[in-house]
Amino acid sequence: MTNSDIVELLELTARLMELHDRDAFKTRTYQSAAFNLDKSTADLVNLPVEELVKLPGVGKSVAQKIREIAETGRLAELDELMAQTPSGVLDMFRIKGLGVKKVRTLWQELGIDNLRDLKLAGENGQIAKIKGFGANTQEKILAALEFLQEQQGKVRMDKADMIANLLYDELIKHFERVEISGQVRRKAQEVDTVQLLLQTSDPIAAMQILSGLANLEQNEKESSPFVWRGQLQGFDVLVELPFYSAQQMNRQLFVQTATEAHLRQMGTNGTSLLEVAYSSVIPEIAVDTTEAIEKNLYAQAGLPYIVPEMREDDFAFRWASQHTNDELVTWQDLRGTLHNHSTWSDGKQSVADMAAYCRELGLTYFGIADHSKTATYANGLDVDRVRQQQAEIDQLNAGFGSDFRILKGIESDILGDGSLDYDDATLATFDYVVASVHQTLTMSLEKATTRLLKAIENPYTTILGHPTGRLLLAREGYPIDHRAIIDACAKHQVVIEINASPYRLDLDWRWIDYAMQKGVMLSINPDAHELAGLLDMHYGVAIGRKGGLTKAMTFNALTLNEMSEYLQQRRERIGK
């Protein structure tokens, strides 16, 4: 049980109370508590009632509910509400644009209590006829349903990694060797199959072992004598556990990691990589020699060695004709971080605490880029608060030596017409500006591209933030002309963000190589709202490597001196 789990249960309770038209005051109490606790850094799980009531938005009643959740993992009041709510109605909350009131209307007025009936009602035009909905809302609901259907059974990279490691920690107790393979090893941004290879000489005994593990739920129909398929309890993604002998483990780890398109690549000897993998004699040796074994397979095919992240298709081989693997960016190459939030806007930690943690991580600069004044929902900074924050940063910087610095940034909203939401005099006070779209996300390709192009042309725009605004598995990004955007960034010397949050991973990895070809640097930005969020740069590095990002083209791989010089020269160009 974590803070996030507690907040999630409180939010769900409030939502269902509103859905069932329960006491409005009590509903607001839950909503207020969830809103405030989402920003709290207190250890909710272990705080007693008398300490919980001291937190903003938490009264004695909610404090007792928090203790109930922490101690039992459940909330009786929520269980009662869940029992009265069809599971399909809960699914409707996943539809973008459907709030509690609209869900209640659909359920009560049309009798819709599942996504299938919702889709049928939309296709038949029934939703558009409901007061307060209309044809536009109906169209958006149908589009959101289609998107959700495409994403069903998938998880993000971070969750897939967590599931794979949970399974590994359990399975290694029962099998001599276990290897995380497939999409997880390849660092796919969305995963529909979490695969681990199990070494065994007795598949029947292996299947019996797996049957005895309480948290594994087998799909017997999809399984076979040599492959266990099912799910890890609580997660809606396929788990695949193939059995291999010791002699086959290294070969299959290689084959199962790469896509079919990658394995079809023909080598200089006229043989495909897959054929080489199956025809070669591969030694049965220790796990820590996996890279050496795989390098040998590529060499036998007459092909350059490709790192696991890049084994998607033939792009990696084209990339390898111009680059070497030691050019790829690594976590150790990162010298700082530039897109982060603090308690000045919607972050959970202070600027000082975030900076201190960056120093612990070995970084030499911390860039704060809190939300700007248009983002009122995120406590965005008006001009007066900008000055106050910058004064605080000056004071903090005075306490550092020459080896660390806090950089003054802002995440400035790109308005509907493409302008930034501060005047030039205010923008000039920042060391750098991350320009991002946060509102009015429903746009045509032409509208979105034009909007971004104007923002890129603004001389104060240093970094283009999360270019498509997508949220993986939750919201499709707005369409943009990637080539036009990247070309404009090249012309105006604007860096493009790889938003490292596993919810975004935006810019998409498929456009990294084109950006590098055009001379556009990429910045691996965590968009961190708390200390742990800074570690999301690991996901950004993985996606960067998948797209072939080199250290030389990684903006935040610049040293502190190089970054300071770059930003100073940019300010001087603006002044001219």
Half-sphere exposure of 128 (CA within 13 A, CB side): 11
Highest mean pLDDT pick, 90-99, 141-150, 305-314:
305-314
Q: Mean pLDDT, to the nearest integer, of 215-237?
A: 94
The angle at the Cα of 531, spanning 527 to 533, to the nearest 5 degrees, equals 35
Fold of 155-320: Beta Polymerase; domain 2 (3.30.460)
Q: How far apart are CA 282 and CA 199, in angstroms?
A: 15
Structure tokens at 205: 């005994």
Instruction: Look up the CATH architecture of domain 3-151.
Output: Orthogonal Bundle (1.10)
Structure tokens at 330: 């690594």
pLDDT of residue 75 exceeding 80 = yes
The pLDDT score that the predictor gives to residue 288 is: 60
> Which three-class secondary structure state does DSSP give residue 227?
strand
Cα 379 to the chain's mean position, in Å? 23
Q: Which of 267-276, 283-292, 363-372 has the lowest mean pLDDT?
A: 283-292
pLDDT of residue 287 exceeding 60 = no
> Strands 238-244 and 336-337: what pairing?
unpaired
Structure tokens at 414: 């790109």
Phi, psi torsion values for 32, nearest 5 degrees:
-65, -45
Burial class (CB in 10 A: 0-12, 13-18, 19+), 93: middle
Structure tokens at 147: 């998107």
Tell me the residue type at 194.
V
Label each residue of 166-222 as H, E or C. HHHHHHCCCCCCEEEEHHHHCCCCEECEEEEEEECCCHHHHHHHHHCCCCEEECCCC
Q: Mean pLDDT, to the nearest integer, of 132-147?
A: 88
> What are 483-514's pLDDT values in tens digits?
999 999 999 999 999 999 999 999 999 999 99
Q: Pseudo-torsion of CA 290, 296, 299, 301, nearest 10°?
A: -90
Q: How far apart are CA 429 and CA 387, in angstroms?
A: 9
Q: Pseudo-torsion of CA 103, 105, 108, 113, nearest 10°?
A: -30
CA 477 → CA 158, 184, 410, distances in Å?
19, 23, 22
The pLDDT score that the predictor gives to residue 475 is: 86
Q: How far apart are CA 112 and CA 30, in angstroms?
A: 27
Q: How far apart are CA 254 and CA 272, in angstroms?
A: 14
> Strands 216-218 and 227-232: what pairing?
antiparallel
Closest CA to 566 of 555, 575, 576: 555
Q: How far apart are CA 516 and CA 87, in angstroms?
A: 47
pLDDT of residue 41 exceeding 60 = yes
β-bridge partners, 197:
179
Instruction: Return the sign of the alpha-carbon dihedral for residues 39, 45, 46, 52.
Output: positive
Q: Mean pLDDT, to the nearest integer, of 420-442?
A: 96
**Residue 148 pLDDT level (bands cut at 50, 70, 90):** confident
The pLDDT score that the predictor gives to residue 144 is: 87
The pLDDT score that the predictor gives to residue 179 is: 96
> What are 360-417's pLDDT values in tens digits?
999 999 999 999 999 998 999 999 999 999 999 999 999 999 999 999 999 999 999 9
Q: Considering just the CA atoms, what is the radius of gyration of the chain in Å?
A: 26
β-bridge partners, 218:
230
Asked whether the beta carbons of 241 and 196 are under 8 A apart, the reply is: yes
CA 211 → CA 44, 223, 239, 525, distances in Å?
36, 12, 14, 43
Structure tokens at 313: 């298709």
Q: Mean pLDDT, to the nearest integer, of 471-479?
A: 92
pLDDT of residue 190 exceeding 60 = yes
Q: How far apart are CA 444 and CA 417, in angstroms?
A: 14
pLDDT of residue 418 exceeding 90 = yes
pTM of the model: 0.88
Share of the chain above pLDDT 70, in %: 99
The pLDDT score that the predictor gives to residue 195 is: 98
Provide the mean pLDDT of the chain.
Answer: 94
Residue ranges of domains in the chain: 3-151, 155-320, 331-575
Give 314's contacts (C-beta < 8 A, 6+ positions apart).
Answer: 261, 262, 265
Structure tokens at 437: 């779209």
pLDDT of residue 1 exceeding 80 = no
Q: How far apart are CA 448 and CA 528, in angstroms?
A: 25
- CATH, domain range 331-575: 3.20.20.140
Q: How far apart are CA 235 and CA 218, in angstroms?
A: 13
Q: How far apart are CA 39 and CA 20, in angstroms?
A: 27
> What are 78-130's pLDDT values in tens digits?
999 999 999 899 989 888 778 999 999 999 888 999 999 999 999 989 999 99
Long-range pairs for 515-518: beta carbons < 8 A, 24 or more residues apart: 515/486, 515/489, 515/553, 516/548, 516/549, 516/550, 516/553, 518/486, 518/487, 518/489, 518/490
Cα 201 to the chain's mean position, in Å? 39
Q: Which of 187-201, 285-299, 504-518 has the lowest mean pLDDT?
A: 285-299
